[in-house]
Amino acid sequence: MAIGFDYGTANCSVAHVVDQQVVPIPLVGDQRYISSTLCAPTAETVSEYLFRCLNIRPSDATGELVLRRAIELNREEGLEVRSDDVLFGMQALDHYLEDPKNVYYIKSPKSFLGAMGLRDVQLSFFEDLVCAMMANIKSRAEQHLQRDISETVIGRPVNFLGRGGERSNQQAEGILRRAATRAGFKSIEFQFEPVAAGLEYEATLTTAQNVLVVDIGGGTTDCSMIQMGPQWVGKTARDETLLAHTGQLVGGNDLDTHIAFHNFMREFGLGSNGGKGADIPQTQFWNPIMISDVQAQRTFYSRENLQHLQRMLKQSTTPHYLQRLIAVHQGALGYGIVREAEKAKIALEQSDLYCAHLNLLIEQLDIPVARSHMEAALEKPVSKMVALAKEAITQAGIQPDAIFMTGGSARSHVLREAMTHVAPTTPIVSGSYFGSVTAGLARWAKNCYGSSTM
């Protein structure tokens, strides 16, 4: 049978079509979504876990090298890999937050699949991460359905990294395809996420429309101008209806990091003196909260950076701030800071004030965040999203009849207000903020492979 698979930056979900109806497949109890997170005792545990616990071998010689090295390192550490060593979703996050310094944790690996300049062994390890997550989701879906799943349509952003960058797109899609194949899928197709979201909206139309789909995911914002209508429903030959696509690596995660940077980081020394009359470089405050940027995390949490922070501490006129930043380093607390920023973003949809609570181990820090402060913090990423929507309209050369907003962050009043300036007379509509892409992928899977029956 076939499923639509939304391997998202923030969450993953799957669905299939039964008797012309999209049916979401529960993954955790009765929940349809599982967070795109994974944790393990060490990074090397993941590669050995695939081989030893799931009988999944690497896809090439580089992967075999990564596996052999992982087994060697795990033996040196005295680790005997077990099936319950690798956790996923909120279970992974909860376990990590209990002991962040001694647990390997990864969130949103999709965000860096298109990064250029990575070594082959790094790309192979990323493939292992994605494969472990996909295998977990496939297994959960099969357990619920009591059926084997062999075919899938996987969603992908228009651009995995920046504007254009076809090499990045090919690299990322290649990782996803190899990971899905190793996870057990026999037939794999891809579809742009905004196109998939548009298919779900199209199913509600009774007349033809030109629709600007704005899909604001966790890691990317993608916009597609699509001709829609009942005459196109169920057809796979849609090239002439796809009028324009734009996409960039800016999404809900960026909203969280900007809230954290502008509202929290002054309590860690942003704007203060780092010795010799110079302010502390802003990268010291961005890097710990750029949780989807592998290089930023590696730079901040390096031993060399800790030594640099300790030297600045001795010279600083405000050492208590730097002591907090050093506590972030030593406790690997960046994820916790960003998570609290996300809570602030959600709470401020309903309230004018939120009190963020940060546990720094050395102290408990409470920081009030006003809605106006959040709105100011989001100005830069929101302006990028608006520019993508305007660019799609320009490329298409026509005005939309409707703007269809989807993705978890599309609920934001800041973003919805900003999109009213893209085409002031055009109505903004929405469906399921979290489910439109998955439902559209399931519909496309039906087009490609046929519907499933129970």
Q: Quick check: is 420 in a domain? A: no
State the pLDDT at residue 275. 65
| Through-space distance between the first and last CA atoms of the chain, rounded to whole angstroms | 10
Q: Quick check: is 36 in a domain? A: yes
Q: Quick check: is 8 in a domain? A: yes
Residue 454 has pLDDT above 60, yes or no: no
What's the pLDDT tens digit per position in 252-298?
999 999 999 999 999 999 988 766 667 889 999 999 999 878 789 88
State the pLDDT at residue 66. 96
**Model-level pTM?**
0.84
* Reported confidence tier of residue 162, pLDDT bands at 50, 70, 90: low
* Residue 69, helix vs strand vs coil: helix
Q: Quick check: is 431 in a domain? A: no
The residues pairing with 430 across neighbouring beta strands, listed in sequence order, are 405
Answer yes or no: are the C-beta atoms of 256 and 342 closer than 8 Å. yes
Number of compact structural domains in the chain? 1
Mean pLDDT for the stretch of residues 90-116: 88
State the pLDDT at residue 453. 46
Q: Quick check: is 68 in a domain? A: yes
What's the pLDDT tens digit per position in 168-208?
999 999 999 999 999 999 999 999 999 898 888 888 899 99
How buried is 400 (Cβ within 10 angstroms: 0-12 exposed, 13-18 middle, 19+ buried)?
A: buried
Q: Quick check: is 7 in a domain? A: yes
Q: Which residues contact 280 (CB under 8 A, 6 or more apart)?
A: 269, 270, 272, 273, 274, 312, 316, 322
> How do beta strands 87-88 and 37-40 pair?
antiparallel
**Domain residues for 40?**
2-193+441-449
CATH of the domain at 129: 3.30.420.40
What's the pLDDT tens digit per position in 339-351?
999 999 999 999 9
Mean pLDDT for the stretch of residues 123-147: 97
Q: Quick check: is 104 in a domain? A: yes
Q: Quick check: is 69 in a domain? A: yes
